[in-house]
């Protein structure tokens, strides 16, 4: 299997595994799991935080591979592939550097650790890149006949995710902010999966014939012509 197709499969597997991680991680928590943000599922006081940590890391690794493969796609020649890779690297960092607590506020919370602060910065970068990449790529795709079918869905998913994240940041839907965050992230990851799926459905370019094959074709052409079966033979017959 070509590395580009393997990376495209990763672009689908990463979002699926990340979604499975937060579903399982949410079910493992007690109380009101929908009120816990995704980062909280990997916090030190969460139940089985390694599930969500693995989800972050796997998503990031798959996104880095997809971004690297997109750099070889002519229709994606822009900052888009780099944004996909930056978002992937930030997701890995968000999984490795965890939050201190599952909830944002609570009794006994006295300041943030350095790894909590690194997690917050990495999460912000991941969110920004996750939204910017499909918007940039979608615009490029709409100008390419092979990719136009994916251009508009990718942009629509990214815009819908941006709206959901804006509402999430406003805290207007508490205590369901965690559920809204999950919806926003799922929309953005769906855009990534659409791009990866389009890579898989495009036909691979066939191998070009080398000089030896070209020579064999030319030899057969002139042999047929000399025998009277081709243009050269027909011309020779008229002269006779």
Write out pLDDT tens, residues 85-137.
999 999 999 999 999 888 776 555 667 889 999 999 999 999 999 999 999 99
Q: Say how far apart CA 199 and CA 228 lie, in whole Å.
A: 48
What burial letters (b/e) apply to 85-116, b meaning 16+ CB within 10 Å?
A: bbbbbbbbbbbbbbbbbbeeeeeeeeeeeeeb
State the average pLDDT over residues 18-39: 87
The encoded tokens of residue 101 equal 């607590």
Give CA–CA dist 228/230, Å, rounded.
6
* b (16+ CB within 10 A) / e for 31-55: eebebbbbbbbbbeebeebebbbbb
Task: Show the tokens assigned to 66.
Answer: 């997809």
Instruction: Look at the alpha carbons of 143, 166, 91, 114 in this order and tell me if their dihedral is positive or negative.
Output: positive
The verdict on 27 and 124 lying in the same domain is yes
In a domain, 206, yes or no: no
Is the previous residue joined to 175 through a cis bond, with omega within 30 degrees of 0?
A: yes
Q: Evaluate whether 84 touches 63 at the Cβ level (below 8 Å).
A: yes
Render pLDDT for 162-200 as a digit per residue (tens, 0 to 9). 999 999 989 888 888 889 999 999 999 999 999 999 999
What interhelical angle do 3-28 and 49-70 show, nearest 10? 160
Looking at the structure, do residues 215 and 133 belong to the same domain, yes or no? Answer: no
Confidence (pLDDT) at 40: 92
CB-based contact 81:71 (threshold 8 Å):
yes
What confidence score (pLDDT) does residue 148 get?
Answer: 94
Kindly state the helix (H) or strand (E) to which residue 13 belongs, with its residue range.
helix 3-28
Q: What is the pLDDT of residue 3?
A: 87
Whose tokens are 């009120």? That residue is 35
Assign 3-class secondary structure to 125-144. HHHHHHHHHHHHHHHHHCCC
18 is in which domain, residue-wise? 3-201
* pLDDT computed for residue 132 by the predictor: 96
Do residues 114 and 196 both lie within one domain?
Answer: yes
Identity of the highest mean pLDDT range in 183-187, 201-205, 227-231: 183-187
Residue 67 CB burial class (10 angstroms; 0-12, 13-18, ≥19): buried
| DSSP state letter for 42 | G
Q: Are 100 and 125 in a shared domain?
A: yes
In a domain, 98, yes or no: yes
**Number of separate domains in the chain:** 2
Q: Is residue 161 part of a domain?
A: yes
Whether 142 and 231 map to the same domain: the answer is: no
- 49 in any annotated domain: yes
Mean pLDDT of 27-32: 82
């Amino acid at each position: 299997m070509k590395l580009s197709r393997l990376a495209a499969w990763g672009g689908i597997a990463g979002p699926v595994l990340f979604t499975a991680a937060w579903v399982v991680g949410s079910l493992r928590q007690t109380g009101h799991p929908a009120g816990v943000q995704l980062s909280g599922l990997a916090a030190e006081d969460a139940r089985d935080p390694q599930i969500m940590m693995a989800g972050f890391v796997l998503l990031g690794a798959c996104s880095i591979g997809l971004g690297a493969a997109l750099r070889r796609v002519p229709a994606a020649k822009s900052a888009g592939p780099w944004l996909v890779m930056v978002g992937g690297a930030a997701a890995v960092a968000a999984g490795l550097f965890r939050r201190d607590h599952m909830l944002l506020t609570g009794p006994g919370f006295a300041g943030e650790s350095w790894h909590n602060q690194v997690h917050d910065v990495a999460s912000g970068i991941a969110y920004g890149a996750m939204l910017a990449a499909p918007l940039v790529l979608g615009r490029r795709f709409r100008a390419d006949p092979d990719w136009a079918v994916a251009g508009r869905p990718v942009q629509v998913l990214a815009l819908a995710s941006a709206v959901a994240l804006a509402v999430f940041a406003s805290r207007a839907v508490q205590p369901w902010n965690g559920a809204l965050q999950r919806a926003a992230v799922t929309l953005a990851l769906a855009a990534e999966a659409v791009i990866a799926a389009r890579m898989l459905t495009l036909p691979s370019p066939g191998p070009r014939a080398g000089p030896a094959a070209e020579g064999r074709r030319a030899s057969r052409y002139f042999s047929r012509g000399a025998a009277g079966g081709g243009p050269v033979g027909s011309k020779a017959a008229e002269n006779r």
